[in-house]
Structure 1
């Protein structure tokens, strides 16, 4: 698990470095594959930042045992997301569009997870209709 956490930290650092180049691109006018790749990277970086903020806010509302459970779920979800997007983008592997396809998949799944966590965070204590 420590290796996975280190890998996630490294991935985050790489995304930040990649996003610096992406911020220079005007994504509304992206015409080249390199520009589209940079914009996809920028979108993924923003999606990851939104997810991390939502995750931390939700985690802070939980007791220690539930925080640990949430961390385990989140680590499993990250592995699922990455493997799923690798599978879904396999057809473009080796092509110039591969990075855009994979990063778009990662960003979409990340946005979906952010929405899931927001819904969980919005549950009121005792509301049995709300999945906690």
Structure 2
């Protein structure tokens, strides 16, 4: 019974240490940590994009909301297909999660920048669907 408790404790401590490794992305030394860091960066960019999308959407009328939704769904499909293509050379390998998440992160960051720019456009800009308040 003592072995079971020690094993459970060792596993628990090991799981607690994983986030510490993930936080040290600048000094990542193994593929597992690199993969975790890439996933964390993608999650950060995805959260940023979703926040910008939600905030911007509030300013739109119903027709514009549907247009934005259609654009966003098409963009997501493009992003996912493009990243699958760009990561295909390492598919099945240990670096695949890092490459895929790195691509998703970069494309998501770019899309967030686009939405940020749209949300800051000013009245009189003919390419501005909803000027900044």
Report SS of the residue matched to 2:94.
coil
How far apart are residue 123 of structure 1 and its match?
A: 1.4
TM-score, normalised to structure 1, is 0.79
1:22–1:38 CA contact under 8 A, matched in 2: no
2:83–2:100 CA contact under 8 A, matched in 1: yes
**Partner of residue 61, structure 1:** 59
**Partner of residue 112, structure 1:** 110
**Partner of residue 27, structure 1:** 25
CA RMSD in angstroms comes to 1.6
Query: Who wins on radius of gyration, i.e. which is larger?
Result: 2
Change in 2 beyond 3 A, CA 1:131/1:23: farther
Q: Show CA shifts across 1:3-54 (max 9, x none).
A: xxxxxxxxxxxxxxxxxx9744121221110000000000000000000001
Change in 2 beyond 3 A, CA 1:22/1:43: farther
Report SS of the residue matched to 2:29.
coil
How far apart are residue 64 of structure 1 and its match?
A: 1.1
- Unaligned runs of at least 5 residues, structure 2: 1-16
- Unaligned runs of at least 5 residues, structure 1: 1-20
TM-score, normalised to structure 2, is 0.78
Aligned residue pairs, count: 111
Q: Which runs of 4+ in 1 moved over 3 A?
A: 21-24
